[in-house]
Amino acid sequence: MEKVRVEEDLLGAVEVPLAALYGAQTRRAILNFPLLASRTIGDYPEMLDALMIVKKAAANTNLRTGYLDSRKASAVGAAADKILAGGYSDQFPIHCLHGGGGTSANMNANEVIANLAEESLGGCRGAYRIVHPNDDVNLHQSTNDVYPTACHIAIVRSWPLLDQKLQDLSDGFLQSGREWGDVPHIARTCLQDAVEITFLDLLGAYAAFVARGRARVDEAVDRLHEVNLGGTIVGRADDVPGEYFDLIIEELRNSAGDEKFSRPANLFLAAQSPDDLIAVSSALDLLARGLIKIGKDFRLIASGPETGFGEVGLPAVQPGSSIMPGKVNPVVPEFMIQLCMQVAGKHAACVMTLDHGELDLNIWESLIVFNILDSMELIANAVSTFREKCLRGIQPNLEKNRRNVATVSPLVTRVTRKYGYSTISQVCKEASGDTDRIRILLAEKGLI
């Protein structure tokens, strides 16, 4: 039988596992929000790091302003540093989508830090006689400014990894485009033959899309450097001492190692609307939808082997059928497509949080931040896998592409530039859509 200790909170006594660094409120959250197959706060190291960064900033600010003595502030900061160093994720077992607008996550952080600090100063786990989760670790903070700030920090710090993956994909498209730049390719509009382009034209456009999507996400993420730390409950600065309010953003910059963090012009708006977070989700959604289109394009131009487009060969990475020998499917583009579809679904959930924020506080940041972090992970996986296992090994079918650009549509477009639309349109009308007849008539009329 598991050994327990008894802690007290607003609602009474709570049994907490004796070895746990968390306390009563975390234990209640574990019981209230069954985990089943879902992810915990501890499964998101970027969120844990962000919470620790906020707690360190608050402790340092309270030290500078005289509200915490150096002994307590140092112990709190050292505890946060231990968690930042890793190895404590199992002490954050709360369902990532817990109710309460992030209160359980904030208290989980407060309790673990308090117990680590308590023990470092000679106290007992769960006693909180030296360092208290609320009175000391959470001093001059509310979940309503701590948690949104941590959400912003987590996304800002997660973005560079995806940013690099997107840069690599864009570079990969350009590299392949230059490698096959002399190979002609038939462009299509409305799935009908159009004009002759090159593989550099095709792949260069994909590279440009990824670069534009990357820039769009980067701009949205950069705006998250505005945080409402110090706005406490609903944006009212009067709920913390003036000297704390004046210093907390400076200390946040120090703790995060990022000088760009600042406070928004209207703290009440920051409490009411997470639209700045939704802008990041929206940019990821647009990026994902464009990547779906690219994945579908690769499936089309590689379709075949005999009755499809067959203009490109994709690397064969696995057998494609359990019953048809020799069949190989475009599984890597399909993998990317599905991951990006999941991103679009997560964005749809994020958008709903704007609709359902009531009055002075939007309490749905958990849904937004973890969907965004998931989406970043999904896209990073999608684009790196696509680049490594598909794009790098493409082989244009030289003969098929040459035949395709020798078809009638590119020919008609070329002669139209010389003789005019009406003249060539009359020839097409006379041929009644028979492509061989079009060629014959163009030759007979001396147009080619």
Q: Rounded distance, CA 10 to CA 326, Å?
A: 67
Catalytic member of 142, 321, 322, 409: 321
Pairing mode, strands 184-189 and 192-198 = antiparallel
Whether 81 contacts 74, CB under 8 Å: no
- Closest residue by Cα to residue 412 from 384, 394, 398, 431: 431
- Closest residue by Cα to residue 382 from 328, 338, 345, 320: 338
- Listed in sequence order, the residues at least 6 apart from 346 whose beta carbon sits closer than 8 Å to its beta carbon are 281, 371, 372, 374, 375, 378
SS (HEC) of 73-97: HHHHHHHHHHHHCCCCHHHCCCECC
Is 366 marked active-site?
A: no
**Torsion sign over Cα 322, 327, 331, 334:** negative
Q: CA 378 from chain center: how many Å?
A: 7
CB atoms within 10 A of CB 404: 21
Whether 108 contacts 92, CB under 8 Å: yes
For the chain, what is the total number of helices (H) and then of strands (E)? 15, 6
Show the tokens assigned to 263. Answer: 């406070």
Is the preceding omega at residue 305 within 30 degrees of 0, hence cis? yes
Show the tokens assigned to 200. Answer: 């550099």
Side chain identity, residue 58: A
Show the tokens assigned to 160. Answer: 């560079």
Q: Where are the alpha helices (DSSP H) in 302-433?
A: 331-355, 365-389, 398-405, 408-419, 421-431
Active site residues: 321
